[in-house]
Structure 1
């Protein structure tokens, strides 16, 4: 008699939603809300993983017809991978050509704008800037290299869109990346970064807090704590912003320690 195995997650309360999500039948707003629940509700995330495993097992057990369908689906995924790779390469090439054409003119204009800005709005040292963006050190994410394009074309597409400032498109592309291929913590962190740059600090907090508090790799957790503090600041939640950035400033291993110490030392988080 084989030993008993623990019961898996109960799919029944979520089955209809999981099926519609897997089949792509949700409207964009509904899909976004469902993905947010996946990031927040452990029971739903477990049910989703069990549903994915169940459907994979059923497809395998169905025999030759299912095998044919799996091969067809694999072909479609490979086509999608190729399309994403081509789109990302095209985006990279267009951006490189644009910078090559506008590089000299842009440098001159930036220099002129910098001189004008310095002359007409020279800061008063006694009154430091109080805007969070004046102290924020962005994280551009991994560089889109040929190796990354080859291994993770969908992630590369999302990163290129994020680095180009196309935040809604980047969020949409990121939703198509499988956590099994990249890592759930990495996807949560990137989603938090994109939402923060999009001006949605309150929404970014949900993802960055989960990365900083739920056993992510130490380096990633340290980065998330800094951006979480900035998300609080952007959302005008000054008490948690002060607490988070003071903790970052005290952490000698945090790569954003200097930026956090600058904001704390300037006193811009006090009395707002």
Structure 2
């Protein structure tokens, strides 16, 4: 089996641990889709490609590979749906998922000029990427500061969901669930350490929500950020294609098994042998 990692960070802990497992039965190579210049290598031939990079060049490459018949995890189309937060919210809410109400603005300036917001807001870049905008704005002054720092940035705006200040990070790899909690980056003091949670300890119905996300978005490896809106009612605030899944026992093994299944020709979305 020959596995190709489409990423600029092949040493990421999840990929490195899974690569050690793949190396026992085949070959693992890495390719940076954004590598340029005459020294940039050609795309390696592989039985399965893992799309960990989410840049426009990476998505275009993955789409081309799929067009040539290659197995790619996750697909270019599924990954792209998670990069556009407007499309993400529309698809999730249309499917009946408990996604936070989201509106889209071409830029933040008009909202900042409209006066005090009726409630605290969460402002995010419309396009999910490294270093994008994710901030809480309680006042018009907060909005003006963000508009000045990001004057031409298309954004999405969500009303802040009152919660205990904890983000629930849920991940799925080929249907296997992993979970953790950590202090929200929007909470006073900022983001804290991540604590693993056994999936069986999640509130009733949360696991079903995460599995439904995978079905709706056609994802094999993904993350769902949930908030407890009170009484165990979940609110989805973000969905990520191929997240890091750091420090989760069994995650590298699940990823290795998924790649082997796809390399063997098992189609995306086919039930796991578990």
Normalized per residue, the structure richer in helix is 1
Q: What's the TM-score bracket when you normalise by the shorter of the two chains?
A: under 0.3
**RCO (CA 8 Å, sep 6+): is it higher in 1 or 2?**
2
In the superposition, the TM-score normalised over structure 1's length comes to 0.23
In the superposition, the TM-score normalised over structure 2's length comes to 0.23
